[in-house]
């Protein structure tokens, strides 16, 4: 049973029942789109003055920075050897996860055996408009392969249309299909949403007991923006108070994060996980910055940039 609780103290519940076909579980909710909209409006009313919050960041020269990174390779044309490289880089740098498509999960799990690096898998990528059955099948495939985190794309067209009951049905069903300790991240595609819609997406994710809200797929519009991350972090703080559980959702920033400056900006805005294909460079830059501060004789910009991995060795994307 999933539940939500608004600041007014009203409690909403959704009851699950077995469904036919593919072993899926269908969720039903007795709450209308209008009732969900009222709950969301209560949340939005409380999201004020959060833009000035500066969150504590990990030491940029230490392992804690690497542990915020989901090392990502989602290009359709990527080959097996590139996933070997991806996993080797994740091992060496101590990243949180590698993030890949469903068909590459098992290979990455095998490549990462004996390390602390987990495998995350995208679901419904990248448009989010796949039906629930398709998303449930991808989630099951990923978990069978050994994925311990799922990055699920929100059907943001439904969100923009105010079809909240349908969205909750989908998210709650996927949560049942992938119970804890599997971590679920909802990719809300902030480039396609306004402020109210971002708040709505966060509220729906919290109601369905997701673990993260995430900015972007990296395939549509702009990627992570500081103001969006701050808004999402504020929503997570507010919803942790309003819900009837003591867990707090976290924020994953993804899309266009390529430098240590990008990474620190997102972490200070409230992100605790970063989705990027540039993790190797970000960690390298962080260590160089610490060394520069110690030596007080930093190398020139040309010297620093000249050692950046080339496109032949790293597949940088907008993700």
Tokens of 224: 């992570």
Q: Please pick, among 118, 185, 252, 265, the residue that the annotation labels catalytic.
A: 252
Sheet holding 2-5, edge to edge: 2-5, 11-18, 25-29
125-133-70-195 Cα dihedral, nearest 10 degrees = 70
151 in active site: yes
Whether residue 192 contacts residue 255, with contact meaning beta carbons closer than 8 Å, is answered with no
Query: Which residues partner with 280 through β-bridges?
Result: none
Q: Please pick, among 111, 151, 211, 262, the residue that the annotation labels catalytic.
A: 151
Indicate the DSSP class of residue 216: -
85 in active site: no
Indicate the DSSP class of residue 128: S
- Compute how many other C-beta atoms are within 10 angstroms of the C-beta atom of residue 34: 10
Cα of first residue to Cα of last residue in the chain, in angstroms, is 34
Whether residue 181 has a cis bond before it, omega within 30° of 0: yes
284 in active site: no
Q: Please pick, among 5, 185, 214, 265, the residue that the annotation labels catalytic.
A: 214
Tokens of 252: 């994953």
Active site residues: 151, 214, 252
């Amino acid at each position: 049973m999933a539940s939500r609780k608004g600041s007014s103290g009203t409690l909403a519940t959704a009851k699950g029942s077995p469904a036919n076909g593919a072993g899926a579980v269908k969720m039903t909710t007795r709450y209308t789109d209008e009732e969900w909209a009222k709950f969301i409006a209560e949340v939005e009313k409380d999201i004020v003055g959060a833009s000035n919050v500066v969150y504590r960041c990990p030491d940029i020269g230490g392992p804690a920075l690497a542990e915020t990174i989901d090392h990502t390779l989602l290009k359709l044309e990527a080959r097996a050897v590139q996933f070997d490289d991806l996993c080797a880089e994740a091992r060496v740098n101590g990243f949180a996860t590698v993030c890949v498509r469903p068909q590459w999960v098992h290979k990455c799990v095998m490549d990462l055996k004996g390390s602390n690096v987990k495998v995350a898998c995208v679901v419904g990528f990248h448009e989010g408009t796949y039906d629930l059955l398709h998303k449930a099948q991808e989630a099951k495939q990923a978990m069978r392969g050994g994925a311990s985190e799922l990055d699920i794309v929100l059907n943001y067209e439904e969100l923009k249309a105010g079809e909240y009951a349908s969205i909750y049905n989908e998210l709650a069903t996927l949560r049942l299909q992938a119970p804890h300790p599997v971590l679920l991240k909802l990719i809300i595609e902030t480039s396609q949403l306004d402020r109210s819609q971002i708040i709505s997406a966060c509220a729906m994710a919290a109601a369905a007991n997701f673990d993260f809200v995430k900015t972007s797929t990296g395939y549509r519009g702009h990627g992570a923006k500081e103001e969006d991350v701050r808004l999402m972090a504020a929503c997570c703080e507010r919803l942790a108070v309003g819900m009837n559980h003591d867990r707090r959702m976290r924020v994953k920033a993804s899309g266009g994060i390529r430098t240590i400056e990008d990474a620190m900006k997102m972490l200070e805005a409230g992100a605790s996980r970063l989705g990027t294909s540039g993790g190797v460079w970000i960690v390298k830059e962080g260590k160089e910055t610490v060394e520069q501060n110690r030596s007080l004789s930093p190398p020139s910009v040309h010297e620093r940039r000249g050692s950046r991995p080339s496109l032949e060795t790293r597949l940088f994307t907008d993700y």
